[in-house]
Amino acid sequence: MEENTQIQNEKRMLTVIIFTIIAMIGEIAFGYITKSMSLLAEGYHMSVHVLTLGLTYAAYIIARKFKDSALFINGTYKIGVLAGYTSAVFLGITALGIVYESVQRFFNPAEILFTEAIYASIFALIINYICVAVMEGKLHLHHHHDSTNISESKDYNYKAAYYHILSDVLISILTIIALVLGKYFNCIHLDALTGILGAVFILIWAVKLLKSTVKILIDMK
């Protein structure tokens, strides 16, 4: 990967981390206030993202700092791959945690302040979409006008972070749908079911990323 692209990805990651922290704080706070399981799950999901995105950012810094070091015989490319693998593991663990909490809430539903929860979810969706736009290069920062093809990218560190943010967008959309149906049709169990459905998609992305990164880490064809 070209050095200027790597630097751009690093800058984008810092921007995404800032937005993610803002969204995480808002979702967890409103999740407790409104007693929405899907909103709380999304908030805690994003707290893991803050950790993994921080790992992604750190990997860029380390790879750049040691790119000419004799310590790395084959260069520092696999530092990013290892960070991507670790992020995928966290992504899978987060999905399993969401399933567990959602099942608990399904059998023990709590009263939800639907209106407040819907507003908070819309706010989270806007923040998440901004993050996706930044990572895809659709939202240009610092007057750079390059674009990023995530699906074809070999920067697995960046791809892992992208999947984390994309999963947030998915859960935000599902959460809004569940809350609206719960508010107007009294479908309170949809809140928990939404968490489970979102977790399934997250697990699929995590497994896909794990397979890709493991092959590189163990030099498998």
Q: 3-33, pLDDT tens digit by residue? A: 667 778 888 888 989 988 888 888 788 778 8
User: What is the pTM (predicted TM-score) of this model?
Assistant: 0.72
Q: What is the CATH number of domain 3-64+72-217?
A: 1.20.1510.10
pLDDT digits (tens, 9 = 90+) for 28-59: 887 788 777 666 766 776 777 788 788 889 98
- Tell me: pLDDT of 141 over 70: no
Q: Are 64 and 8 in contact (CB under 8 A)?
A: no
Task: Report helix angle 114-135 to 37-65, nearest 10.
Answer: 20
Residue entry with tokens 């990572």: 135
Using pLDDT thresholds of 50, 70 and 90, give the confidence band for residue 214. very high
In 10 A of CB 169, how many CB atoms?
Answer: 16
Using pLDDT thresholds of 50, 70 and 90, give the confidence band for residue 73. confident
Q: Virtual CA dihedral for 196, 198, 200, 201, nearest 10 degrees?
A: 170
In 10 A of CB 77, how many CB atoms?
Answer: 18
- Tell me: pLDDT of 153 over 70: no
Using pLDDT thresholds of 50, 70 and 90, give the confidence band for residue 191. confident
213: exposed, middle or buried (Cβ count in 10 Å: 0-12, 13-18, 19+):
buried
- Tell me: pLDDT of 145 over 50: no
Range in 72-86, 133-147, 165-179, 191-205 the model is least confident about: 133-147
* Mean pLDDT on 175-185: 88
Give me the chain's average pLDDT, please: 81
- Tell me: pLDDT of 184 over 70: yes
Q: Are 62 and 79 in contact (CB under 8 A)?
A: yes
DSSP 3-state helix, strand, coil percentages of the chain (rounded to 5)? 80, 0, 20
